[in-house]
Amino acid sequence: MSRIYLSPPEVGSEERRMLLEAFDSNWIAPLGPDVDAFEAEFADRIGTGHAVALSSGTAALHLALLLLGVGPGDEVLVPSFTFVATANAVRYLGARPVFVDCSAATWNIDPELVTGELDDRARQGRLPKAVITVDLYGQAADYDALQPVCDTYDLPLIEDAAEALGGTYKGRAAGSFGAAGIFSFNGNKIITTSGGGMLVADSAELAERARYLATQARDPFPHYEHTAIGFNYRLSNLLAALGRAQLRGLDSRINRRHRINRCYRAAFSELPGIDFMPVADYGEPNYWLTCITIDPGRFGVDREVVRLALEKADIESRPTWKPLHLQPVFADDPVVGGSVSAQIFDRGLCLPSGSALSDHELDRIADIVRGLAR
């Protein structure tokens, strides 16, 4: 029996074919026809005017914040319950994250806390420069509750949809809300280019500027001429070919992950003290990871006991994100609320959710968890 990973890449003959086609065409140089095609196909899928293929989701966040005017000394509202990259990008610009707790009903940034904080800050004349939302574990934040208050104060919203490709909110694609959206194609995300990301936006100007900054800010001269500080943030053509093949298989991957989620729900339905990450009725997640919380008082043992029992059977599971307001590196940054995400972290566990997970493997996992219940 081989190790079961949390969310391993799944690649097949289509990926191999398209990657080798790009290789054989000699488009090894960073940019090329597969980058252009990947961007066009991606923008089409999300329903945004433009998409810019980048070397990572973190790079996409960095550029989005930069292009929306975030700079040294600014503050940016950031969900506390997310992966560290969301807040790191704020720090790259010399700005400061202001962490906002999540709602227990969605695990995403709490619109009421955002509204209260922005109202307070407006009264005090110290509004932040931007608001970042995260579509956590593949479920969209509540945009109808978040966008109007951002509009009221004329703040750009940046949607970190790194985990949510293919998820929807009221029928609209995750990533298409806000002034810019970002995605990640890291190895454990729902589709992967081994490493890569995408910035999407309706603004042609923003997309053009992102392409320019991502390619060392080269001005249009025959020699190398520069009027801005740029970055080396573009996705290579070979990886874009891989991404195109992965994108074609996105819907079947979502279906498979959704099915895995249903299997876990069925397997644990009789167990006391296990709850699933709530699915909001406003949209369809992509079911990137299936996450549960374990109430030790009712279940019998705590999350760590379950995680270690799985690990002993060579099965990888992981605690849910540790809230950023509890991370030592952000100890000095302000936080609004915080107890909801802290409690989820205390009890939360992400279960193996890869699209290639077999029914037999699901049974093995469920048996171990069931065996621990009181």
Listed residue (134, 200, 136, 140) closest to 170, CA to CA:
140
As measured in angstroms, the least distance from the Cβ of 374 to ligand PLP is 34
Q: Which of 128, 121, 151 is nearest to 71 (CA)?
A: 128
Residue nearest ligand PLP, CB atom distance: 57
Nearest approach, Cβ of residue 286 and ligand PLP (Å)? 12
Q: Identify whether the C-beta of residue 117 lies closer than 8 Å to the C-beta of residue 100.
A: yes
Strand partners, 198: 53, 183
Question: Quick one: 58 or 317, whose CB is closer to ligand PLP?
Answer: 58
Between 156 and 273, CB nearer to ligand PLP = 156
CB of 57 to ligand PLP, least distance (A): 3
Which residue, 194 or 339, is less far from ligand PLP as judged by CB? Answer: 194
Q: Which residues bind ligand PLP (CB under 6 A)?
A: 56-58, 82-83, 85-86, 134, 160, 162-163, 184, 186, 197
295 and 273 Cβ atoms separated by less than 8 Å? yes
User: In 3D, which of 178, 96, 100 has the Cα closest to residue 144?
Assistant: 178
Instruction: Spell 239-276 as b/e; 16+ CB within 10 A means b.
Output: bbbbbbbbbebbeebbebbbebbebbeebbeebebbee
Burial (CB count within 10 angstroms: exposed 0-12, middle 13-18, buried 19+), residue 185: buried
Closer of 117 and 163 to ligand PLP (Cβ): 163
**Closest distance of CB 234 from ligand PLP, Å:** 14
Q: Whose Cβ is closer to ligand PLP: residue 82's or residue 286's?
A: 82
Distance of closest approach, residue 224 Cβ to ligand PLP, in angstroms: 28
Give me 313's structure tokens: 């059977």
**Cα separations (Å) of 119 from 42, 127, 134, 334?**
36, 9, 21, 16
Query: Closest CB to ligand PLP among 53 and 271?
Result: 53
Per the DSSP assignment, residues forming a β-bridge with 197 are: 54, 184
Q: Report the interhelical angle of 85-92 vs 57-67 (nearest 10°).
A: 40
CB 58, min distance to ligand PLP, A: 3
Under 8 Å between Cβ of 330 and 91: no
Kindly tell me which of 54 and 245 has the beta carbon lying closer to ligand PLP: 54
Looking at the Cβ atoms of 293 and 320, the one nearer to ligand PLP is 320
Residue 82 or 237: the one with the smaller Cβ distance to ligand PLP is 82
User: Please, what is the minimum distance in Å from the beta carbon of residue 80 to ligand PLP?
Assistant: 12
Helix (H) or strand (E) holding 298: helix 296-299
Q: Smallest distance, Å, CB 204 to ligand PLP?
A: 24
Q: Please state, in angstroms and rounded to a whole number, the distance separating the CA atoms of residues 75 and 90.
A: 8
Give the phi and the psi of residue 209 in degrees, each rounded to 5: -65, -35
Contact between 63 and 199 under an 8 Å Cβ cutoff? The reply is yes
Shortest CB 351 distance to ligand PLP, Å: 17
Structure tokens at 85: 């990259």
